[in-house]
Amino acid sequence: MKLFDGGRAPNPRRVRVFLAEKGIEVPLVPVDMGAMGHRDEVVTRRNPLQRLPVLELDDGTVLTESVAICRYFEELHPEPALFGAGALGKAQVEMWQRRLELGLFNFVAQAFRHIHPAMKDWEIPQIPEWGEANKPKAIAFLRFFDGELASREFAAGDRYSIADITGMIAVDFMKPARIAMPDDCANVRRWYAAVSSRPSAAA
Amino acid sequence: MKLFDGGRAPNPRRVRVFLAEKGIEVPLVPVDMGAMGHRDEVVTRRNPLQRLPVLELDDGTVLTESVAICRYFEELHPEPALFGAGALGKAQVEMWQRRLELGLFNFVAQAFRHIHPAMKDWEIPQIPEWGEANKPKAIAFLRFFDGELASREFAAGDRYSIADITGMIAVDFMKPARIAMPDDCANVRRWYAAVSSRPSAAA
């Protein structure tokens, strides 16, 4: 198999961090997203939505969507369980994975795509007013998340999970999106420092 | 357990359709979202994000996020498998569940929330230009989906799954969002007619 990878972009990194946590090595095919490589024929033929990452299995089967690719590897290599354990544990990871994706990552991404000058050929039309409207939504979520993290170590409970990966990547994405971490989010800062210092974060 | 339900809103219905497909009955607590019942104390105490549905277990544990609630029931009652079977099958359902959620449902929801007059107290600020920008994105996705459905019966393969539920609900949501199904999407129309005629669609 091979993984068409997109370098520094958030979603490709999400899968690389996941694989590093699992201790799985997959051959990478680098794609230069800065040069719009994700819209060339090599990627488009495999994913008409022109998004990365794309996993191609040895028989040619293609999987897209970072979380779907992660789930494939979770099923093949169940330990350490990064999607949770038990019915309730799995549901709680799913809940927090979604909360962090829809309630933080998505808002940060919208702010970046609709405001940053480098995105003008990516997001058409860019609507700066919409980009700005996402910033307070992201901040409000961080304050909610901060309250949750007062009583536990990781996003979905006492064990590291894919929800932490999504959350870490969302916080890293705040920098180019020009959203500052609020001073009063001490628990989020503690959590972010912990997940960012894991060896997988360098992936 | 009890499920705090939001009537006609898309996400609460997503869980009801899922439960109907599984043949599971859960006591419902109706919440009148038209009267902003999802922002009252009963819901906010359980889900500070003020979203429905909310599942409360007998010990008081709360689960939110429609897909997380569905996954909880999938783990408790694995048959029929609505999240797919086997590593590849589960990954393909996840891929299509996400494609239909992020590539269709989300665009339709943004168009509805940023354009419909009834949403002016829900989505602040309403940005009609952003609402309009989502319509061609939804249409483009439907044409891509139409090509995919030329060679198979359901969204993620030959078996009905949660991806079909998300897709059906997204298409139903197109009506209040004032997005018309393109005439050339014959495969999507065939698929929609089939999933909408299942008894679960009435849930």
Complex ipTM: 0.97
Per-residue pLDDT at B134: 98
Q: CB of B187 within 8 Å of any CB in chain A?
A: no
Cα(A181)–Cα(A186) distance, integer angstroms: 10
Task: Give residue-wise pLDDT tens across range B39-69.
Answer: 999 999 999 999 999 999 999 999 999 999 9
Residue B20: the pLDDT is: 98
Whether B125 sits inside 8 A of A133 (CB atoms) is yes
Nearest residue of chain B to residue A101 (CA atoms): B102
Of B48, B67, B91, the CB nearest to A63: B91
User: Interhelix angle for A106-115 vs A128-149, to 10°?
Assistant: 150
- Sign of the four-CA dihedral B124, B130, B132, B137: negative
In sequence order, what are the beta bridge partners of B56? B2, B62
Determine the average pLDDT of the residues in A27-50.
Answer: 94
pLDDT on residue B123: 93
| Percent over 70 (pLDDT), chain A | 100
Best A95, A114, A130, A137 member to test B by mutation, with max B CBs in 10 Å, is A95
Q: What is the pTM of this model?
A: 0.97
Q: What is the DSSP letter of B42?
A: H
pLDDT at B85 over 90: yes
Taking CA–CA distances from A124, the nearest residue in chain B reads B133
Q: What is the DSSP letter of B118?
A: G
Q: Is B151 on the interface with A (CB under 8 A)?
A: no
Whether a cis peptide bond, with omega within 30° of 0, leads into B53 is yes
With beta carbons under 8 A apart, name residues in chain A contacting B129. 125, 127, 129-130
Average pLDDT across chain B, whole number: 97
What are the residues whose beta carbons fall under 8 Å from the beta carbon of A140, sequence distance 6 or more?
A: none
Interchain CB distance below 8 Å, B125 and A129 = yes
Alpha-carbon distance B95 to A69, whole Å? 8
Model confidence at B201, in pLDDT bands (50, 70, 90)? Answer: very high
CA-to-CA distance for A159 and A85, rounded, in angstroms?
Answer: 10
| Residue of A46, A56, A65 to mutate for B, most B C-beta atoms under 10 A | A65
Residue-wise burial string across B45-75, b where 16 or more C-beta atoms lie within 10 A, e elsewhere: ebbebebbbbbbeeeeeebbbbbbbbbbbbb
Task: Report which of A40, A44, A181, A173 is spatially closest to residue A119, judged by C-alpha positions.
Answer: A173
Chain A residues closer than 8 Å to B68 by CB: 91-92, 94-95, 98
Q: Enter the tokens of residue B87.
A: 């590593």
Q: For the residues B138-162, what does the mean pLDDT come to?
A: 98
Is it the case that residue A39 has pLDDT exceeding 90?
A: yes
Distances (CA, A) of A66 to A4, A14, B46, B110: 11, 7, 30, 23
At A169, the pLDDT band (50, 70, 90 cuts) reads: very high
What average pLDDT does this structure show over A103-112? 98
Tens of pLDDT, residue by residue over A123-159, are 999 999 999 999 999 999 999 999 999 999 999 999 9
Per-residue pLDDT tens over the stretch A159-168:
999 999 999 9
3-state secondary structure of B59: coil
Q: What is the pLDDT of residue B34?
A: 87
Comparing CA positions, the residue from B73, B127, B47 lying closest to residue A114 is: B127
Find the closest chain B residue to A132 by CA distance: B125
Helix (H, G, I), strand (E, B) or coil at B24: coil
